[in-house]
Structure 1
């Protein structure tokens, strides 16, 4: 898919990209885009960062023994959320590839949707960097912290 700058990169465009660009197995994760933050809201702090919030619907298919959502699904959620956040900060599609992702798991999550709050730390011409906080939707407590780097193609 060629690079596309949109005058308005919104939830509809982000959802279209989610459905058209990512592999079918990523789509099988049941992801939805809950929010995009492209511009600072009124009264935003000086350290505000653009980002996106994605939701991964709970499914037994994403669980390992004991009903715990598996780490592989959580890492794929974080990676996908960061791509959408970078596209939002870029205000349109731009090809990229993950070059590093470090995940720190904080606690198990079971029988709950998972939210990914992805923030762009630096949007660059050749590299972009971000952080993602994964939260259990049932209690809004962090379950993992992720830092990542992407090569911008």
Structure 2
């Protein structure tokens, strides 16, 4: 659909800060690293609050990052639409992530007028193997 992003990393970060300040409660841990045509990459600077017993990053932390990177990829393409909402998310947890930063890479598979579908892969450390794979659908409100 779109030839490239209509929002920059800085514009998306400012939008998230303004519209969703709750994601930064307890300190800023989510950052947008890149946006491109139908893509986005984000980082979670996982700390103690993101760990589960056994010393691994928790499923809910990975789920939040995957959902957020999908939303960011969509915003980058359509602009600052606060009411674009998740309608479906599916997760496959593939391997145990080590404590520390997680990086999520998203690719939009379809971007229509009313629905967007994408996939996100979450990586831990320097490993090239994903620790989590997610697919999601978002509803885009009429303009």
Equivalence for 2:19: 21
Superposition map of 1:28-107 within 5 A? 28=25, 30-38=29-37, 50-90=38-78, 92-94=79-81, 95-107=83-95
Deviation of residue 88 (structure 1)? 1.0
For normalisation by structure 2, the TM-score amounts to 0.87
Output the CA distance in 2 between the equivalents of 1:23 and 1:100. Answer: 23
Alpha-carbon spacing, 1:10–1:100, altered in 2? closer, same or farther (3 Å) = same
> What's the secondary structure of 2:95's corresponding residue?
coil
Output the CA distance in 2 between the equivalents of 1:151 and 1:68. Answer: 32
Output the CA distance in 2 between the equivalents of 1:27 and 1:118. Answer: 21
Alignment length (residue pairs): 134
Deviation of residue 125 (structure 1)? 1.0
C-alpha contact (below 8 Å) 1:60/1:67 kept by paired residues: no
C-alpha contact (below 8 Å) 2:6/2:76 kept by paired residues: no
For normalisation by structure 1, the TM-score amounts to 0.81
Deviation of residue 8 (structure 1)? 4.7
C-alpha contact (below 8 Å) 1:33/1:55 kept by paired residues: yes
C-alpha contact (below 8 Å) 2:51/2:99 kept by paired residues: no
C-alpha contact (below 8 Å) 1:101/1:149 kept by paired residues: yes
5+ residue gaps, structure 2, are none
Equivalence for 1:137: 125
Superposed CA deviations along residues 77-128 of structure 1, whole A, max 9, x for unmatched, are 10011000001122x1122110100000001112221001011111111111
Equivalence for 1:120: 108
Q: Any runs of at least 4 consecutive aligned residues in structure 1 with deviations exceeding 6 A, and if so which?
A: none
C-alpha contact (below 8 Å) 1:119/1:130 kept by paired residues: yes
Output the CA distance in 2 between the equivalents of 1:53 and 1:100. Answer: 20
Q: CA RMSD in A?
A: 1.6
